[in-house]
Structure 1
Amino acid sequence: MHMQEVKGMEARQGELPALVEGQEWKLWLAGAMLAVAGVGFLMPDGIGRTLDIPGVAVQLGAMVLCFASLGWAAYAVRCRHCRLRLVMYAMSHQSIGQWLHWLLAVKRCPKCGADRAGRRP
């Protein structure tokens, strides 16, 4: 979707609350898990010495945490009406630099058209 289409869609949606409102905690939790995984990737030897485990094990754990957090976010953030997985939809239908902005700004489900309260246009 091009930027003009995104702006046009936002203008049509008016002042409705964001579709993911009330589910932001899931995005914050996934972001925190990604940050912890990033620390594991950047400092595996230091963390390994502190925990008395090999640095490779820390990197492996960080990789698992990274995939788990992304997978959980892709599964958990959904449209309340049709259950469309919004993170997965955003990542697959928006550009790499726009998916998060789109996800936080979209007011109506792209599949069923429902807003946060389940009202359809």
Structure 2
Amino acid sequence: MEDASYDHVPTDFPLPAYWGAIPGAQPKLIMTKYNGRFYSPGCTPPEIFKRWSACEEIAKQLAKKSIESKIGKRAHMSELEILGQYLPRLIATKLTSEEEACWIIRRVAAILGWPVPSSAR
């Protein structure tokens, strides 16, 4: 994949937090080398692009589902309530981290022009 593709990842997309330890007396830093640069594990451009692509796809699917819900069985609910009830369900799937799940809900709100639930801020 071309490095230019990685520029599509928005700056507000969450980066994974990585906590690790290596035994020994000297301080150590766990890093991954990619194209001559060092990154925290899971944070190389290809890894972030892959995570973002998956989250963007989930956001698009959830946006479609949210519209269907608003027209159908959740017509009585506000847009905030609809998005708010999807967040804990998304977190429960363990497909994403909690930070990514919140980003997905914010992205769905942006796609639809709906307000962002406070639980996803």
| TM norm. shorter chain > 0.5 | no
Higher normalized strand content (fraction of residues): 2
Give the structure-1-normalised TM-score. Answer: 0.28
Structure with larger RCO (C-alpha < 8 A, sep 6+):
1
Pick the structure with more helix per residue: 1
Which TM-score applies when normalising by structure 2? 0.28
